[in-house]
Structures are given as structure tokens and as C-alpha cells.
Chains A and B, each alone.
Chain A
Amino acid sequence: MHGDIDINIEEISKTEGHTGLEVKVRDGKVEYVKLKVSENKRFFTQGVIGKKYFEIPSFISRICGTCSIAHLFACIEAVEKAFGIEVSEQTKIMRKLSMFGLMIRDHGMHLYFLSLPDVMKKDSIFEIGEENPNIIKEAFEVKAAGNLLCKVIAGRAIHPTFATVGGFLRIPKNDDIKNVLEKLKNVRNNVLNLIEIFGNSSLFFEKESLYVALCTPHFNFLEGEIRSSDGIIIREENYWNFVNRVVIPYSQSTAFKFTGKPYRVGALARLNLNKDELDEDTKKDAKKYIDKFPSNNIFDNNLAQAIEILHCIDSSIKILESFEFKEEKPISFKIRENEGIGVLEAPRGTLYHMYYFNSEGKVKFGNFVIPTAQNQIHMELDIKDLIEQNLDKNKHELQHMIEALIRAYDPCFSCASHFLKIKWI
């Protein structure tokens, strides 16, 4: 039993973006837990002001190197809402497919490369691969299938080039579709294995929590209504009225509460609130594991991600097998002075972009709510509880448990740090 512990991790590895952690325990009581986002700000909130509406989607997607498609579409949706643009059915389907591709490769990266080493008690996927070369092969195959889906539909996986305000600049070719279909079908079994691994993992940390997610029909991540596990239902454009920004003086990121309470967003929240909308084949083949939800075990966030990969594969296969793509141009439109709001489910949770445009279509100001910033307060509370429950462990073990807990959230500190004006008082 340890009375006093000081933990100071300069940089937590295997997370997207940089963060540090400082913990002080005295006489068996946690005095503080400081998750210090050390990702250096690049001041996008200021940078976006004065830019024209057509410049901002590709500009703002540079916030994040892994979920850029989510930022791109949230921004495009905000522009379209501001100017009253209604896009074609085909555009909606292509956006859905791009989101599915994003989830497959982004969740794939997180599960195999960042979280699996925790489950298997190894330092990296490369170490796991020394004993089990099959798993690393499966990892790369799943990621490659998601990557290809993004490439064929949106141009590329990171900072894609075909998606624009009003539609897509290029329509996929039949040969490419055939190729993607084959790849997606080939990796389905890999994902069932992945679900087994995370479904049977012994990692466990439970805490009664509040969950918030955009609940979408057919689990499409794009359009729907925001719901909370305590029964609140909100239209996308009203989300800002329900969240409270909290300044964290030691961090380069700010944090959020929902109606004054700490909350969790992300795959766990989506499965807890919207699992009925998953694809039918996914529901059939992953039933045993889907039945675990609703869950309060944060490590089930990773199981939820694995189930979402399967859902994205199954949904994409159905669309690609039945939909006939035809040549079409992006919708033309008139700009006007207005505000526009785009909300969607990014891989790590609910993402909100708001812009106010002047009559020339230039941004007067922007406002954003980022998934990782919404989880920040809950992460700190969880770490505090985890430490208090495990004071009998040595510092090294404890540190490892904390890092695994943080990684289970799949935080993205790149995103978390780049928005918001912080006034230090």
C-alpha cells in the first residue's frame, strides 16, 4: 500500500497527438490528476477568420491527420446549411461511404496499433507480430480496405481531394468499385477475429456515466438527432446550447460538460444509444458482443469500435453491390450572409462545426466542439478513481494501467488543442 505517489509522464505514447499527465497522491488520496494536452496549438480558430467558404473545408481538415474526413464533412455541411444547399442522393451516399472508409481505417489503426498492445501486454504491434505474424497481416489488410474505400470515393484517406461543397468532383469507376468490394469482403473475417479479441479482453474499468451521441438512422454517422443517456433529445443545430465550455489552465485544450455534467462521447456512446440501427448482418454475426451494450466499462469502447468496423464493412458492401453511380456535377448555389452548423459522429465522437459567413462568403467567426475535448473531464475523473482503487499496485504498473485507460478512449490530442480561444484570467 502506497500513501504517496507522484506520476509525471511527459508524453503518453500510442495516442494521436501529444499529451502529458501529472498525478499527485498524498496519504492514499489523489490530490490532483492533470491531463495536460501538450499538442502545440496552431491557432486554426484565428486562422479561419477571413477565409472564403470554398477555402475552409480543405484548410480546416488539416486540424487532424487521421480523422480529416470527419472535419471536412462537418465543415462542408455547415457551409451547405448556411447557403441552403440541398445535395443529391448520390452525394449523400458517397459521403456515407467515405465515413465508413474513415471508420474502418481509423478504428483499425487505433485498435490494432494503439490498443491491442495493451490487451496483449506488449509494447507494439511489431512485438505482437513476432509471435503472431497473422495478426499484423490482418491489421494491415483491414486498414488497407478502409484506405482503398476512402481513396475510391473521396480521392485519398488523409486530406481527400474529391469532396467539395455541393457534391463530389469525381464519381467512382466500376472497376474501382469491384476492387473495393472484393477487399471489403476479404477482411470481414479479420474483423470478426478482432471483435473476439476485444470482446474477451480482461481489461476493465467501470464507471456510471452520461453518454451523448448523434443517433443516426442505419448508423450512418452523418444525419440524425443528438441524444443523451439521461433522455435529452436535441436537434443538431442546438447542440451548443447544451454544452458548457470549461477552461483547463494547465492544458492547451479546453474541455466540455453536457448540461453541467461530465460525459462520454465516441463509439461506446454510439453503441449504448443507437445499437438497434446497426446493419442486420453485423447484428447477426456479432450478437453475443452487441448484447454487452449498454456498458459502462470504458474498455468496451474498443469493442464498440471493432463492431463499428464490421457494420461499416457490411453497410458498404450492400451499397456498393446495389447502387449505380452516374456522372454528375456538384450543385450550384448562391452565397448569402448566414450562419451554418455541421454536426456528425467523427470516429471519436460528436463533432460540431459552426461558421458565420458575411455576404461575400467570408468567415466572420467559427466555433467548434471536438470529441476528445468532451471526454477530457471524464478521463481525468476515471484516472482518479482508477488510482484510488489500485493503490496496492507499484508505480510502474499503475502508470501502465493509466496509459491503457487513456488509450481506451482513443483520444486525439491533435484535434483537441486546435480550436477555441482561451482567455487566461
Chain B
Amino acid sequence: MKLKVGFFSLTCDEGCSVNVLEVLNNKYFEWKNYLEFVNFRLIKSENEIKEMDIAFVEGVVSTKKDLEKIKKIREKTKKLIALGTCAISGPPSNLRNNFNEEKKREIKEILEKFGFLEKCFTLKEVVKVDGEIPGCPIDENKFIQLIENLIKNARRY
């Protein structure tokens, strides 16, 4: 049985997803027998969010849609891993949280028009997070180590 993994982007620059694709340059053939990519919008049509073993999520929760999506992902996944600085601690995607009154006034209309939340949240502020890969973009070695441990554990059972 392959491990079902999904990659998801909330509000961010998708640098972590792109970096995952760079990691695959050298790892794809090693991993493909153990991993099934159930969601990965950057490289395949986005299908509905299905049951999976591990969800990797980059970005901050900035809009109502982001919030719905992360809750849905949490429901469908056994483990949820936060990828990168935005997802773990907020910057720079949470810029607006620290704007002064003048800048806040300037962006107010856009926030209302496009369904933004009052502020940006990190993943662990809104759902249970099981692990983190830090960095902007993610630390490649830590990501590789995590995937290889998961594969090892899955093979043991």
C-alpha cells in the first residue's frame, strides 16, 4: 500500500511546493513506489480533497476560503505537516497583521470585497498540526528525512 500524500497551498508564494518539485528531481524514482500524490494542484488537476495519510500545507490562513480548506484538509488527513515559515509562524504572508492604521485603511476595501479574515493565522492557530518543516522555502534535508522516516515506518507495519 502506498502512502497517500497531498500538497496544498493557502495564501503564500508556493515556494515550498516548487521546492518539493526540486527535491523530486533526485528523489522521485526512489519514492514513487511508496508515495501516491492524491492532491498537488501545481502539477495535476485539482480533484476533491480525498482521504489521505499525510497532508503537507504551505501558506497562512488569510481568507474564509483558506479557513474552510484547512478544516476540510484536517478532516481528511491522518497527519498534517506545516511547510515553511508562512504556515508555521506567519511572515511574510501575514504582513498585514502588523500594518499601521493608514495602511489598514488602504487595504480595507479589498479585504471586504474578497472575503479576507480579520487577520492572518498560522496553521496551528486554527487546526491541530502534527509536524513542521521550517525554512523559506523549506529545509530540503529535513523534508527528505521526514518523508524517508514515514516510508520506513509504513513499511514496518
A40 touches B62 (CB 8 A): yes
Which chain A residues in 232-264 approach chain B with CB under 8 Å? 252
A40 touches B63 (CB 8 A): yes
Among residues of A, the one whose C-beta sits closest to the C-beta of B140 is A156
B24 touches A140 (CB 8 A): yes
Q: Once the chains are docked, how many angstroms separate the CA of A158 from the CA of B85?
A: 14
Q: Once the chains are docked, how many angstroms separate the CA of A136 from the CA of B32?
A: 12
Given known contacts A40-B66, A65-B13, A126 and B113 CB-to-CB distance under 8 angstroms: no
Q: Does A44 contact B (CB under 8 A)?
A: yes
Q: Once the chains are docked, how many angstroms separate the CA of A360 from the CA of B5?
A: 49
Q: Does A377 contact B (CB under 8 A)?
A: no
Stretch at the interface among B37-45, B126-134, B148-156: B37-45
Query: B50 → chain A, closest Cβ, in Å?
Result: 15
Set of chain B residues within 8 Å of A414, measured between Cβ atoms:
13-14
Set of chain B residues within 8 Å of A62, measured between Cβ atoms:
13, 15, 92, 136
Stretch at the interface among A12-20, A197-205, A288-296: A12-20
Given known contacts A40-B63, A158-B137, A11 and B11 CB-to-CB distance under 8 angstroms: no
Q: Does B29 contact A (CB under 8 A)?
A: yes
A63 touches B13 (CB 8 A): yes
Set of chain B residues within 8 Å of A123, measured between Cβ atoms:
44-45
Query: A213 → chain B, closest Cβ, in Å?
Result: 24
Q: Does A179 contact B (CB under 8 A)?
A: no
Query: B113 → chain A, closest Cβ, in Å?
Result: 7
Which of B19, B25, B95, B113 is A140 in contact with, Cβ under 8 Å?
B25
A125 touches B43 (CB 8 A): yes
Q: Does A46 contact B (CB under 8 A)?
A: yes
A40 touches B13 (CB 8 A): no
Q: Does A66 contact B (CB under 8 A)?
A: yes
Q: Once the chains are docked, how many angstroms separate the CA of A11 from the CA of B103?
A: 29
Q: A interface, how many residues as a size bin? A: 35 or more
Residue of A59, A65, A158, A424 with most chain B CB atoms under a 10 A cut-off: A65
Set of chain B residues within 8 Å of A17, measured between Cβ atoms:
14
Among residues of A, the one whose C-beta sits closest to the C-beta of B16 is A65
Residue of B66, B95, B99 with most chain A CB atoms under a 10 A cut-off: B95
Q: Once the chains are docked, how many angstroms separate the CA of A90 from the CA of B116?
A: 46
Set of chain A residues within 8 Å of B136, measured between Cβ atoms:
62, 159
Q: Does B144 contact A (CB under 8 A)?
A: no
Q: Once the chains are docked, how many angstroms separate the CA of A65 from the CA of B19?
A: 8
Which chain A residues in 333-382 approach chain B with CB under 8 Å? none
Q: Does A42 contact B (CB under 8 A)?
A: yes
Question: Interface code B14-31, partner A: CB below 8 Å = 1, 0 otherwise?
Answer: 111111011011101100
Q: Does B1 contact A (CB under 8 A)?
A: no
Which of A16, A114, A252, A422 is B14 in contact with, Cβ under 8 Å?
A16
Closest 10 interchain pairs by CB?
A65-B15, A124-B44, A144-B25, A65-B13, A40-B11, A65-B14, A47-B95, A140-B25, A46-B103, A65-B18
Q: Hey, which bits of chain B sit against chain A, CB under 8 A?
A: 9, 11-19, 21-22, 24-26, 28-29, 32, 37, 41-46, 62-63, 66, 92-93, 95-96, 99, 103, 106-107, 109-110, 113-114, 116, 136-137
